[in-house]
Amino acid sequence: MNCSKQFLIAAVSCFTAWAGPLKVIATFPDLKWAAEQIGGAEVKVEALGRGNQDPHHVDAKPSFMLMLNKCDIFIQNGLEQEIGWVPPLLEGARNPKILKGAAGFIDASEGIRPKEIPLSADRGLGDVHPSGNPHYLIDPVCMLTVLENIHEGFVRNRPDKQAYFDENLKASKTDLLVKLIGMPLLKALGPDSVRALLFSDEFAAMIKENRLPAPVEGWIKKAQPFNGVTVICYHQSWKYFTDRFGMTIVGYLEPKPGIPPSPAHLLQMKNKILDESIPLIITDTYHNPKTGNKLAEMTKVKALWLPNLVGGVKEVTTYPGLFEYNLGKILDALSK
Amino acid sequence: MIMQYRILPFLCFLIFCFAISKGRAEALSISKMNPAIAAVGEFGASTSDDPALEHPHEILFHGGDLDLYASVDPYFKAELVIAFSDKEVDFEEAYLESMALPAGLKVRLGKFKTPFGKWNTVHGHALPVITMPLSWERLFGDGGLNESGVAISELVPFMPTYHEIIGLVLNGNNTTAFNGAKTRDLLYMGHLKNFFELGGYRTLEAGLSCARGRNNQTDDPALYSLIAGANLIFQWKHFMLPMERALTLWSEVYHSRRETADSSHAVTTHASTGFFVLGKLLFAKRWYATCLYDYSGDPLETGENFNSISAGIAFQPSEFSEFKLEYRRLTEDSHGINPINEFKAMAIFTIGAHGPHAF
Ligand SMILES: [Zn+2]
C-alpha cells in the first residue's frame, strides 16, 4: 500500500519533471517580460510581435501557428489590439489548450479600465478600437493588473507551483511600484492602497497639494517636470503614458486613428503648435518619424521617436528600461 | 502620530476608489452572439480594343459578398460567404470547421475555395490584381475550384518548420476541369503546404497540389482529368517600415492531363501547362504596384494559347477601401490575332466587422 503510494508520487513527480517548463507565447515583448517575472524558471516565453512593429499589423504567419501549436499558454494584449492577426493564428494553431476560454488562454486586459471608449463604433471616425484604447501596456499601473492576470493563468495551469508564482507576483509588483513611486510611499501605504490611489484621478492633485503620507520618488518624481506639458502624438498609443505622467495630448498627427497624416491636417497641427506653443511631438518607433520631424523643422519644437513597447529601440530590453529611456528622452528634450 | 492622522481620511478615499474599480467590467460586456458580418462591394470600369466584344467600354457594379462568420460552439466555427452578382445570388462559400479536434487534426465540411495552390483560396477582392490570370481561370473556370466536400488536414509532427498536409474528397462539380458530379466518381485532391522563415522579414511559402476526378458525365467511356500544381510565394518586408516597403513574388504553375474520347470512343490524353508570375511592390504607405506575366496553355483543347502581361497600381485609403488601375496586353499565340489592350479600374469597399489581415 505504502509502496504503491510512493510509486505514485514518484511517477507524478517524474511526469512533472518530464513536462518541463511551461511553453508560453505572448503577442508582445512587454507581455513576455511580465510572463518571465511571474513564471521565472518554470516558463519559457517567446513573443510574436517585435517592439518596433506596429502592434495592429503583425503578420499571421504559419510559422507563428507552429509556435502556438506547441505551446501551453498564450497571452494576448486584448481590447481588440490584435484583432487583425490573432484570430487566424489561433485558428491555424490547432491547439485546443489555448483557445479563448480554455485554461491556456490569458487575456492580459482582464480588469483594465479602458480609456477612450468610442461613443459609436463608426469607421467614419477612423479605424477605431470599439472596446476602447488598447495601448495600455505603456502604463506601469496597468502592468500590475497584467502581472496578476498572468499569475492567475499560470496558477490555473500549474497549481503545484502556486507558492512560487505567488512569491514572484509579490516581488515583481513591489519592484515595479518601487520604481514607479519609490519605497517611502509604498511603505507608508502598502501595495494595495497605493494601487487604488494610482488608479484614481486624485493622485496628481495629492502630490501637488502635498497630501501624501510620504514623499513620492521613482518615475513619478522624475516626471514631475512634465506636469501640465502639452504634446502632439502620432497615434493614440501614448494616452495611458501621458495620463500617468501628467502630460496632456492636444492633437494627433493621424487625422483619425489608423489614417495617415494628410497635408491639410499637418498644416492644422503646425498652426496649433505655433498658436499654443506646444513643446513636443511624440512618434512611436513603429511609425515613420518623417512626419513628426518635418513638423518639428517647420515649428522648431522637439520631435521624439520613442519606443511604445519593449524592444522598440535596441537599448530597451526590459519593461522598466522602457520608462527609464522614455522619461530620460522627454526630460532631455524639455530641458534643451 | 502625525503620520496616522494623515492616513485616516486617506483610507476612506481608498475604499471609494476600490468600489469604483470593481464595478467597471460589467458595463463592457456587450452581447456578441450575432455573427460577425462584413459586406464587400466591387465597382468597376473597363475599356478594351477587342473587336469581338459587344460592349468594349463598361462601367458596372460587379456585385459583392456578404460574409457571416461566427463560432458555432466550442468545437466548430462557421463561415458563410454569399456572393451577389448582376446575374445571380449564390453561396460562394459555406462551411463548418473544427476547432478542437485532438492531435492537431482539422476538418472542414461544406462548400469552400479548395487549397489547390494559394491563389485559388483567396477571394477575388482580396487579390492584388483586377483581371485573374488565365492560366488559373481557363483551367478551373470562373471563380476557381470552389467545391462541396470534406477536407481533413494535419501538421506534419516533429518538424521545426511548418508543413501541412490536406486531403480532400469533393463533389467534382466544376465548370471546366472536373465535371463528374452526376457520375459515380468523386474528385480527390491533396495539398502540401510548406512555410519557411528566411530571417529578417523574409518568408517563403512553397506548395504542391494534385487533383484527380471525372471530366465527363457519361460512363461510356469514363474520362478523367489529373491536374498537378506548384506554388511559390516569397515575401520581403523592410524591417523598420514593413507597412511602407514590401515585396511579394508569387508564382503558380498548373499541369493538366485531360482524357478525351473521339467518336470511336478511343481515349487520348491531352496535356497542357499554364503558369503565372506576379510581383507586388508596396512602395509607400497605402500604395502598391503590380506586374503579372501569365501563360495559359490549352487546358480544354480549344487550340488557343494565351500570353498576357499586365501592370497595375493600387491605392488603399484605409484597410477598408481600395482603388485599382490596371493595363493588360493579351496575345493569342497560334492564330496570329492582333494583341488586345485593355484598361480596367476598380473600387472595392468593405463595411462591417474587421476581418483578419491577409497574409
Ligand atoms: Zn491603436
pLDDT, one tens digit per residue, over A21-50 is: 999 999 999 999 999 999 999 999 999 999
Give domain status of residue B307, yes or no.
yes
Ligand 1 centre and the CA of A235: distance in Å?
7
CB contact A88 to B (< 8 Å): yes
Report CB contact under 8 Å: B318, A94. Answer: no
Closest residue of B to A97, CA-based?
A: B100
Q: Which of A60, A197, A259 lies at the smallest CB-CB distance from B14? A: A197
Give domain status of residue B239, yes or no.
yes
Give domain status of residue B331, yes or no.
yes
Give domain status of residue B236, yes or no.
yes
Report CB contact under 8 Å: B354, A213. Answer: no
**What is the residue-wise DSSP string for A268-313?**
HHHHHHHHHT--EEEEETTS-THHHHHHHHHH--EEEEE-SSTTSS
Report CB contact under 8 Å: A99, B100. Answer: yes
When pLDDT is averaged across residues A229-253 and rounded to a whole number, the result is: 94
Cβ neighbours of A96 in B, within 8 Å: 99-102
Look at residue A144 in the predicted model and tell me its pLDDT: 95
Cβ neighbours of B317 in A, within 8 Å: 259
pLDDT confidence tier of residue A1, bands split at 50, 70 and 90: very low
Is the ipTM above a cut-off of 0.90? no
pLDDT confidence tier of residue B17, bands split at 50, 70 and 90: very low
d(CA A131, CA A84): 15
Ligand 1 centre and the CA of A128: distance in Å?
8
Q: Closest Cα partner for A104 from A152, A157, A46, A28?
A: A157
Cβ neighbours of A126 in B, within 8 Å: 318
Give domain status of residue B86, yes or no.
no
How close B184 gets to chain A, by Cα (Å)? 34
Closest residue of A to B13, CA-based?
A: A197
When pLDDT is averaged across residues B264-272 and rounded to a whole number, the result is: 91
Print the domain residue range for B161: 47-63+117-352
CB contact A124 to B (< 8 Å): no
Cβ neighbours of A53 in B, within 8 Å: 242
Q: What is the CATH number of the domain that holds B143?
A: 2.40.160.10
d(CA B106, CA A305): 44
Report CB contact under 8 Å: B351, A88. Answer: no
Identify the structural domains of chain A with CATH numbers, from first to last: 14-112+128-174 (3.40.50.1980), 223-335 (3.40.50.1980)
CB contact B245 to A (< 8 Å): no
Closest residue of A to B203, CA-based?
A: A61
Packed helices A29-39 and A162-181: angle between N→C axes, nearest 10 degrees = 120
Domains in chain B, number = 1
d(CA B350, CA A198): 41
Look at residue B32 in the predicted model and tell me its pLDDT: 59
Look at residue B23 in the predicted model and tell me its pLDDT: 37
Q: Closest Cα partner for B39 from B152, B123, B127?
A: B123
Report CB contact under 8 Å: B21, A114. Answer: no
Give domain status of residue B89, yes or no.
no
Query: Per-residue pLDDT tens for A273-313?
Result: 999 999 999 999 999 999 999 999 999 899 999 999 999 99
Residue type, B84: F
Give domain status of residue B161, yes or no.
yes
pLDDT confidence tier of residue B24, bands split at 50, 70 and 90: very low
Residues 252-271 of A with CB under 8 A from B: 258-260
Residues 306-335 of A with CB under 8 A from B: none
